[in-house]
Amino acid sequence: MDQKFFLEMLNEQFQKVEGTKNFQEKDEKDSTKQFHLQFLKDNLIEPMTEPTEKQFIRGKEHELEYTMKGLHSSLAMIYNLFGNNKANIVGDKNIGAGTYAVEYEKHFQALKKPAFKKEYTLMDSFLYNETNKEAVAIEADMLGWLFNKPENLPKNFLNTKKYKDEDIANTFIGVAKSIMKDSVSKDKDYEANFKHFNAFLMFEHILAGYNSCREKKPEMKKITLVSCIWELPLVKNSKALPEYETVLKEEHEEFEKFAKLIGPLKALFINIGTDFNIKYYSYNNFMKLVKLDDKQQKYLSRYSFE
């Protein structure tokens, strides 16, 4: 598939919604640079407040300076859904209705005394309902699942002594081994036996979420880990077929495979009094869970094409 096709399509829809904006100049070393806006504010539904900006600053390098200026930025996509305010969630059979506090690039600790930054986890968006003690942890992905390899698992995740709760380490390690490829090198990080779904990243989020639930930081009676994936609208995917449909089918199948493999981990959450689940939502379907006004709906049509 041609990534440029997707970027040009997003650009066309963006300009229908927002009009003409200033983009960065082409760069032979970065084929996506021309799809990055010159100014971050032009890629956001509303200006960031100072507290929100600080949340993104603690994330990965260059997010505010470059990454979030891209039309295909997953973080910008999820920020534009919630903005600076609390999220009013309509809810469904998986996620409870109510008002949720929103935090971006939520910092969780997966391992005990992480040796490297990659042994921490950063959740794109963390929603928390104080009244019901319910949390929704969101990992968003716009084009990464189509064009990037899934992340590897750092070696320390197979070391029981690195776990904050060593009693559950073997269960997590057993699940990790079921995710990885059969032939792995002990000298390198472990590669997942998945082509598209970012299995090890979600595995790390589950471990970090377990630690937070066990330590009650914050108290969570229920937590749902959401894989929120931007999917190409059917009205626009004729040029991408059939390869796109093949990849999308594989992504869905790999999620279902992952959801089965992590079955043993759900019991660990039950033992500490937390209802845990993992769910897959297309971005368009997750939008339906959020109470949005007409102005927000119109802006978000840059992603939904609706």
Two tokens at 176? 């990790």
Q: Which two tokens stand for residue 97?
A: 């209705």
pTM of the model: 0.94
Q: Report the SS3 class of residue 256.
A: helix
Measure the CA–CA gap between 15 and 155, rounded to whole angstroms: 44
From residue 101, alpha-carbon distances to 44, 57, 82, 131 in Å are 19, 19, 10, 11
Segment 214-219 mean pLDDT: 94
Measured from the Cβ of residue 43, the count of other Cβ atoms closer than 10 Å reads: 22
SS3 state at 35: helix
pLDDT score at 58: 82
pLDDT of 112-144, one tens digit each?
A: 875 555 556 889 999 999 999 999 999 999 999
- Tens of pLDDT along 62-96? 789 999 999 999 999 999 999 998 999 999 999 99
**Confidence band, pLDDT 50/70/90 cuts, at residue 176:** very high
- How confident is residue 234, by pLDDT bands cut at 50, 70 and 90? low
pLDDT tens column, 19-34: 999 999 887 777 788 9
